[in-house]
Amino acid sequence: MKDSNLVAGDGYRGGMVSSGLDVEQGTPDDVAEAVELLDGARRWLRDRSIDQWRHAIPAEVVLADAERGELFVVRSCRGLEAIATITDHDPETWGADVTPALYVHRLAVAQASRGHGLGQGLLGWASARAAARHKAFVRLDCADDNQGLRRFYESQGFQHVKDTTVTAPGSTRALGSSLYQRAAP
């Protein structure tokens, strides 16, 4: 299902993202490809000694995202180009904070699509969605030692809020995590 109220521009056609993306709500049929995309991102990070996603994200986690209507995808004729899980709450990471916010998790871009602005475009789409839902902030987190991702988030206007410890999805592994937010437009 395309989120047509938040689509800007012509959408992604394999070039640079400029004014927006065609973002669709993912379905259980997207789970296998989404897990493959996440695993490609995980391997890319691991090959660069970045401990963002050391272990594969279980298909059950992504399936649960899709079943709750929280998995969003950008697709082209080649398949899924980018994905993100977008939620209205995140007590596991942000605690009992009741500030109205939208939370971004598992944002990943297909390796063949890196460098085209899809990550930035999805963050912009999430901001528009947050504003449409009357949320004050878009929030996200990353491994506290992932300096490249921290710089990217900061370059996109996200401000560091604090560092904390979280549990990796589908495991009991504790991770150092840096929490970021930016005001919704």
Q: Is residue 67 part of a domain?
A: yes
CATH number, residue 101: 3.40.630.30
Q: Is residue 17 part of a domain?
A: yes
d(CA 145, CA 98): 27
Question: DSSP string covering 2-18, please?
Answer: B-GGG--TT--SSS---
Question: DSSP string covering 120-137, please?
Answer: HHHHHHHHHHHHHTT-SE
pLDDT at 170: 63
Range of 97's domain? 4-140
Report pLDDT digits (tens) over 94-113.
988 899 999 999 999 998 88
What percent of the chain stands above pLDDT 90? 57
Instruction: Report, as an integer, the average pLDDT of 17-23.
Output: 62
Question: How many structural domains does the chain have?
Answer: 1
Q: Is residue 20 part of a domain?
A: yes
Residue 163: its H or E element: strand 159-167
pTM: 0.85
* 12 or 120, higher pLDDT: 120
Is residue 7 pLDDT above 70, yes or no? Answer: no
- What is the residue type of 65? D
